[in-house]
Amino acid sequence: MKRLALGLCLLPSLAVADAPWIGNWAWMPESCENREYTTNANPWPLQFLADEFIGTEVSCSLDTIAITPIPNTWMFEMTCQSEGDTNPEQMMIMLPDRDTLYILYGIGGPEVYGRCAQQ
């Protein structure tokens, strides 16, 4: 684990133009239809913009995006707002292919999402 942390420190940040995660992602295909945010739409797709991550009841600015030594994997340092609180957060994402996104938060297994079709 120490090698991975050291590797993250030495790698450059990623240019936004090379951000294959940008788009809407859902863990259930039918959730892709919930395009507008309402607190009653549960679940609704996650949205990655060039500089922001928007989830259910959370909005995060992407402060730092670091390339990891693992292929197609990035580490996000974020500032997140949820329910009136602002907190620093970390998220690791992996894209094994164009339409599959794995998100790892802290400890525990990854969450798996599919890309929503553009409308």
pLDDT of the residue at 88? 95
2-36: pLDDT as tens digits: 333 333 443 444 454 579 999 999 988 888 877 56
Residues of the chain below pLDDT 70:
1-17, 35-43, 119
pLDDT of the residue at 3? 37
- How deeply is 62 buried, as exposed, middle or buried, from its count of CB atoms within 10 A (0-12, 13-18, 19+)? buried
Q: How many CB atoms lie within 10 A of CB 43?
A: 13
Length of the chain, in residues: 119
Q: How many CB atoms lie within 10 A of CB 99?
A: 13
pLDDT of the residue at 5? 39
Which candidate, 99, 82, 90, places its Cα nearest to that of 27?
Answer: 99
* CATH code (residue 24): 2.40.128
Per the structure, the complete domain to which residue 68 belongs is given by 2-115
pTM, rounded to two decimals? 0.76
Domains: count for the chain: 1
- How deeply is 116 buried, as exposed, middle or buried, from its count of CB atoms within 10 A (0-12, 13-18, 19+)? buried
